[in-house]
Amino acid sequence: MHRCPAYAGHDGSRLRQYTVIPRLVRGICALALAVACSNPKSVETFAPAEEQEATAYSFTLDLSDTTLVWDLAFYGRIDGTREELEGFDALPLDVRFTAPDGSRYGEHVLVPLHRDSPLSLSFHETYRRGMKPVLPGQWELTLSAPGAPEGLRGVGIILNHD
């Protein structure tokens, strides 16, 4: 009778290599579980415009891990007639952050618009690279688009870390 070389040596003694594979599989599973339970590398949230005129879009950013460096981008789409969209090459946005301790920070930015079609404009622009929160915790972000055309479908954010 011939024995499988994976389970027996040439002299008939049992090899101990068969226990290496289960340990390796357990190690890989543990590593995969640890990675799966960590912060996601990218979080995307879209706030659609309501039936009424939406002028402010609110987001909650989990910046609890102060060892991470973050990039933040904004995106959206504006639909309308040629006449409504004529002359729009940038979207004014008021960016307001509220820190976990209630402190407020803000600024006014112009986001470049790209013409997708004669009836549609879009934007996808990195707002900040390499952000590191001064305080860990839940930050509130409010984006207002004063003077935006009526066809603004909503605003989204993409929050990435390395």
The pLDDT value recorded for residue 52 is: 43
- Give CA angle at 20 (14, 26), nearest 5°: 145
What tens-digit pLDDT sequence spans the chain (162 residues)?
545 545 445 555 554 544 445 555 555 555 444 444 455 688 899 999 874 455 789 999 999 988 899 999 999 999 999 999 988 999 999 999 999 999 999 999 999 999 999 999 999 999 999 999 889 999 999 999 988 888 999 999 999 987
Contact 15, 9 (CB under 8 A): yes
CA dist 120 and 81 (Å) reads 8
Contact yes or no for 140/42 (Cβ under 8 A): no
Please state, in angstroms and rounded to a whole number, the distance separating the CA atoms of residues 52 and 19: 65
